[in-house]
Amino acid sequence: MLKPKNNHLHEFLTEKINQQDAFSLLKGLTIWLRQGKAKRAPERIALLIQILQNDTALCQQIAILLCRWLCSLRLYPLFIGAGIFSRDGFSRELIDRLYEKFNPAYKDPHALRDVFLRLFIRASDRSWIEAVPPRTWLKLFHLLRKNTPENDRETAQRYLHREGFHAIEMLSIWVAAEALEPNLIRLDNKLLDRDSAFVALKREVAMWLEAKGHQQEFDDSHLHVMLGQCRRQVESLRKKGAGVGAGSSMNVAHLLQRLDQTFDRMILLFRVFSRQKPSAKCLLQLVGTLANASAEQHSVSRLWKSSVGMLSRSITQNTSGHGEHYITRNKKEYMGMVWSAAGGGVLIALMALLKIYLGRQIDNPLMYGIASGLNYGLGFALIFMLHFTVATKQPAMTASLFAKVVERNDKGTAVNMKLAQLLVDVARSQMAAVAGNVLVAISVAMLVGAGFWLTQKTPILTAEEVAYQLKSVNPFGATLWYATIAGVWLFLSGIISGFLDNRADYLNLRMRLRHHPILRRMLPEKWRGKMADYIHKNYGSLGGNICFGMLLGMTGFVGHALGLPLDIRHVAFSSANIGYAVASGGVGVWLFIQSIVFVLMIGCVNLWVSFSLTLAVALRSRETKIDSWWAIWRCVRDIIQARPLSLILPIGLAADEITENPKNKEIAK
């Protein structure tokens, strides 16, 4: 094993020169540098340079060995492969990378791509590569280049250009072929045009290569214009894929990321090989890029982060599109929310009663979990179809809208006053929805319980059931933990809704249903069109509600099966259960008030957990952040001080009124 001492390093270099083993030489040096990590890498490279400067004969022998060895390898597969995703798609590449970790592929010693994969085997290699200053790497490169005979230098230069030109040609062919990719054509059918940016770039590259092959002068300004147009085309496709109405997938995101990587590599190769004699700085930049890419070639986390961004943005974009419906900014919208939540409260009271009945009839925990999940899910779907509101469904939608509204100035600071106003609007709307759900659910439950008592001459709940319902809302037990679990399911239901909406757009579900061969036989065109439009528009909401219900219903069974403290507490259902307990007798006024307070605590946990999780995901998918929550809270305080009732009633503070105040102007900066 190498040690950072002159005599040991000199011995190693001399031994490999005698063996004429260039790969073992580089492999040993790589291991030595990796052992020193980023902290010692600069001094170890400096030590290597010092040895080569002191022993000119050894330096010349190493330079000749490396130069001739390089000319014996295939180079262009490394130029077009390292750091560029495969054409097989995200799922195939993910499987290949996972399989590679368990059963690595054979590395061909005659292909530079495989050599790099054997030299740079860990993602952490990037740290010590980048820890060495560029001027130190340049010093080593110039030293080896100076000690390489002129004939060998010219041979290597011609070979590098040939392989580089081949790589550029292959990359341009890849780009032109993507103009026929169905997933991209779906986003923009202009790619089918004969003069699309991708095809035009291929033609321009062909003319550039022909001129370089004949050593003729060529004005490459138009070539760079075409590269710029291609980059803008990819960005346009990415925005369309992330927008509402288009739909995206991991494969589309993967493909667009591959195109970005391809253009980056083409630009780097143009920079290196556009000159007759490549500059040392450009060559080192190319080698560094390829080394870092090889180190991360089999990184699953890098693949995931690179491909998931656009899909997550598309999902949260669809979710934020629903968020506008849950925010009230005037009296009409506010009263609409109250009445909508009141309608939801009626159905929730009936769903809570059905759940109590199911608990009495079903003894098997699994069957009870499934029945409860269907009760929740189908009930939530019915509430949605009747245009009623469940208060806890709001945060998952409004948080995505909040992230959408996060704007950034040149310094990357959020526009705090605008976000503060949105928070006030969201809080007011949420209070209206909670009030509608809770008050009506309790009232309906009490009326149903009273009716049951009058007709059946017995309370709707037994004394044991009343005690259980009161205990279930007591925050001094596991209640708030169960409320947190419900908040997580609320967050996941929002993500599921966004995913399904994205999927409907991606599949163009509306047109599939309109022209489905079976539906065409069963329904006339008018009804088939209405059904297709409704399902396409509400696919995510219906699916998200049903999934949310099943998550709620099955949580108790999973906790029972695993022996873990798992259950759920939902503010609306808890309030209905308290209503049934009160109607059954034995609940005094103070105990009733205390239980209402406990129910509101459950609601706060439900709402806060789902809002914070959704906001974190939405901000990350948009690659943005809130720079100062404290500044936003100060803006909220100023809004409330100016119009206190705006927190509970639709009395908003206009943006121009806020910014007219000099103090508020400072806060908004």
pLDDT value, residue 305? 65
Dump pLDDT digits (tens) for 474-524.
998 899 999 999 999 988 888 888 778 877 877 788 888 888 888 888 888
Q: What is the identity of the amino acid at 2?
A: L
Q: How far apart are CA 230 and CA 201, in angstroms?
A: 8
Backbone angles phi, psi at 414, to 5 degrees: -70, 150
* Close Cβ partners of 460 (under 8 Å, ≥ 6 residues apart): 353, 448, 449, 452, 453, 580, 583, 584
* Close Cβ partners of 134 (under 8 Å, ≥ 6 residues apart): 281, 284
Dump pLDDT digits (tens) for 147-200.
888 898 889 888 888 888 999 999 989 888 887 777 777 777 777 776 788 888
Count CB atoms within 10 A of the CB of residue 597: 10
* Close Cβ partners of 549 (under 8 Å, ≥ 6 residues apart): 373, 374, 375, 376, 377, 378, 379, 380, 381
Report whether pLDDT(356) > 90.
Answer: yes
Dump pLDDT digits (tens) for 601-657.
999 999 889 888 877 777 776 667 777 778 888 888 888 888 888 778 876 544 434
Q: Which of 72-81, 399-408, 428-437, 578-587 has the lowest mean pLDDT?
A: 399-408
Which residue would you say has higher pLDDT here, 305 or 242? 305
Which residue would you say has higher pLDDT here, 554 or 669? 554
Q: How far apart are CA 18 and CA 20, in angstroms?
A: 5
Report whether pLDDT(283) > 60.
Answer: yes
pLDDT value, residue 381? 94
Q: How far apart are CA 469 and CA 136, in angstroms?
A: 72
Burial of 379 (0-12, 13-18, 19+ CB in 10 A): buried
pLDDT value, residue 322? 53
Token pair for 463:
């004394």
- What is the CATH number assigned to the segment(s) 314-668? 1.20.1080.10
Dump pLDDT digits (tens) for 627-641.
777 888 888 888 888
Report whether pLDDT(659) > 50.
Answer: no
Dump pLDDT digits (tens) for 99-132.
777 777 778 778 888 888 888 887 788 888 888 8
Report whether pLDDT(303) > 60.
Answer: yes
DSSP assignment string, 254-268: HHHHHHHHHHHHHHH
The model carries a pTM of 0.68
pLDDT value, residue 540? 84
Q: Determine the 3-state secondary structure of 432 from DSSP.
A: helix
* Close Cβ partners of 457 (under 8 Å, ≥ 6 residues apart): none
- Element holding 157 (H helix, E strand): helix 150-177
* Close Cβ partners of 254 (under 8 Å, ≥ 6 residues apart): 85, 89, 90, 93, 306, 307
Token pair for 302:
């890098």
Token pair for 78:
């490394």
pLDDT value, residue 447? 95
Which residues in the chain are classed under CATH 1.20.1080.10? 314-668
Contact call for residues 444 and 567 (beta carbons, < 8 A): no
